[in-house]
């Protein structure tokens, strides 16, 4: 009990030194060779998909109200759309930025040295995360601007306020999505002493959600909600369960957020029944606020998941003996 009381007692703020850690971390990241490679990869992707989309858009006569948004969603064989590319590039970048955040310090035996400065562990962990997070946000914002610039040059029309708002929200959703994979990598970097193990674990989780989750979901839905008589209710129940389970995957959440934000005519992401569309004007775009409301659960779910995973990592880091 005495120990606990002692533990709870704190001197000074946990934020002390946070700014310094963030600045150092960002400086490290932005000058690292690893980051350079990722940057080149992403910039090439942005240029390639942006240019391809532009070719596709200018090739067809287009009456689309949201022409600018189609820059992000238009795919041209063999390249996928920009949004689709981000779906698997962002996790890689996020994991690459954070998989050795803590265990790297251990292995270089610099953790004790850092903590001998007037910096709390709280600030170190938070700074590690935020430094990587801001780096990611910076890179993504730069790419976003790049695509936007390509669009301005190529299309020759300014985007409407609605389009800018949607594109900005898409950027935000992408950053949040990256943040999720970053906090996963950070957690593994706390849990595993070896950086390679942490990286592999992170990649494994990512692969699991990218490749296997959907198979498991359809399997589970078919098992738990079998279609015995072919009734519509059964089909709806199965589809709804599959949808619910698939939303545990951050990939699904990101895809849904992308779809709702970049395709304004999307009204709902769930199961839609014919009677719900009675009297509806199909193809009419939703206002940006309504689209945001549509993906709000996805967005808040991802943010909450980030915070909870961070707490896990935080608790585990705080309880760890680091002096050895």
Partner 1 sequence: MKRSFHLKTILALALILSLVLPGTAIAQEETPVAADPELRLTTTYPSQVAELGESVTIRLNLQAIGASQTVQLEMDEIPEGWSATFRGGGRIIYAVHVSTEATESFDLRLDPPAGVEPGTYNFVVLARGQSLRAELPISLTIQERVPASLTFETDLPTIIGSPSTTFRYNATLKNEGDEELTVNLSADVPLGFLARFKVAGQETSSFPLGADESKNVVIELEPVVEVAAGSYPVTVFANSGEVQAVLNLNAEVTGQHNLSVSGLDGRLSGRAVAGEETTLQIVVSNTGTAAAQGVEMSATAPNGWTITFDPEVIAEIPAGQQVEVTAMLKPADQAIAGDYIVTVRARPAEGANKTTDFRITVSTSTLWGVIGLALIAVAVGVVAIAVMRFGRR
Chain residues in the site for partner 1 (CB under 8 A): 7-8, 10-11, 14, 120-122, 267-268, 272, 275-281, 284, 286-287, 289-290, 293-294, 296-297, 299-301, 303-304, 307-308, 310-311, 314-315, 318-319
What is the nearest approach in angstroms of partner 1 to the Cβ of residue 207? 26
- Whose Cβ is closer to partner 1: residue 76's or residue 121's? 121
What is the nearest approach in angstroms of partner 1 to the Cβ of residue 285? 9
What is the nearest approach in angstroms of partner 1 to the Cβ of residue 25? 19
What is the nearest approach in angstroms of partner 1 to the Cβ of residue 228? 27
CA distance readout (Å), 148 to 3, 36, 40, 46: 56, 22, 18, 10
Q: 């390509």: which residue's tokens? A: 150
Backbone angles phi, psi at 74, to 5 degrees: -80, 125
- Whose Cβ is closer to partner 1: residue 72's or residue 314's? 314
The token duo for 223 is 């098992």
- Whose Cβ is closer to partner 1: residue 10's or residue 109's? 10
- Whose Cβ is closer to partner 1: residue 231's or residue 280's? 280
Contacts of residue 155, defined as CB under 8 A and 6 or more positions apart, other chains included, come to 54, 57, 58, 67, 68, 71
Tell me the HSE value of 302 on the side-chain side, using a 13 A CA sphere: 25
**In angstroms, rounded to a whole number, what is the distance separating the alpha carbons of residues 98 and 120?**
19
- Whose Cβ is closer to partner 1: residue 142's or residue 293's? 293
Contacts of residue 104, defined as CB under 8 A and 6 or more positions apart, other chains included, come to 189, 195
What is the nearest approach in angstroms of partner 1 to the Cβ of residue 8? 7
């Amino acid at each position: 009990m005495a120990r606990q009381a002692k533990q709870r007692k704190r001197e000074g703020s946990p934020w002390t030194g946070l700014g310094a850690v963030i600045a150092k971390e960002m400086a490290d990241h932005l000058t690292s060779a690893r980051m350079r490679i990722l940057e080149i990869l992403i910039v090439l992707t942005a240029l390639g998909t942006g240019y391809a989309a532009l070719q596709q858009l200018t090739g067809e006569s287009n009456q689309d109200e949201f022409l600018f948004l189609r820059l992000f969603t238009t795919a041209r064989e063999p390249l996928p759309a920009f949004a689709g590319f981000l779906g698997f590039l962002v996790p890689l970048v996020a994991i690459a930025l954070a998989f050795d955040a803590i265990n790297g310090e251990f292995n270089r035996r610099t953790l004790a040295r850092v903590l001998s400065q007037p910096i709390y562990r709280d600030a170190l962990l938070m700074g590690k995360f935020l430094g990587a997070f801001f780096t990611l946000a910076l890179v993504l914002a730069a790419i976003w601007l790049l695509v936007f610039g390509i669009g301005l040059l190529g299309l020759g029309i300014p985007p409407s306020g609605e389009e800018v708002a949607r594109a900005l929200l898409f950027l935000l959703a992408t950053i949040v999505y990256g943040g999720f994979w970053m906090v996963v990598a950070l957690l593994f970097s706390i849990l595993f002493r070896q950086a390679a193990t942490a990286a592999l674990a992170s990649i494994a989780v990512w692969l699991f959600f990218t490749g296997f989750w959907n198979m498991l979901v359809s399997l589970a839905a078919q098992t738990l909600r079998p279609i015995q008589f072919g009734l519509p209710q059964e089909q709806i129940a199965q589809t709804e369960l599959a949808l619910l389970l698939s939303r545990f995957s951050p990939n699904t959440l990101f895809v849904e957020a992308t779809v709702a934000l970049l395709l304004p005519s999307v009204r709902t992401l769930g199961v839609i029944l014919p009677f719900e569309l009675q009297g509806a004007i199909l193809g009419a775009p939703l206002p940006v606020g309504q689209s945001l409301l549509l993906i709000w659960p996805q967005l808040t779910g991802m943010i909450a998941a980030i915070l909870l995973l961070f707490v896990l990592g935080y608790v585990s880091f705080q309880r760890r003996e680091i002096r050895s």
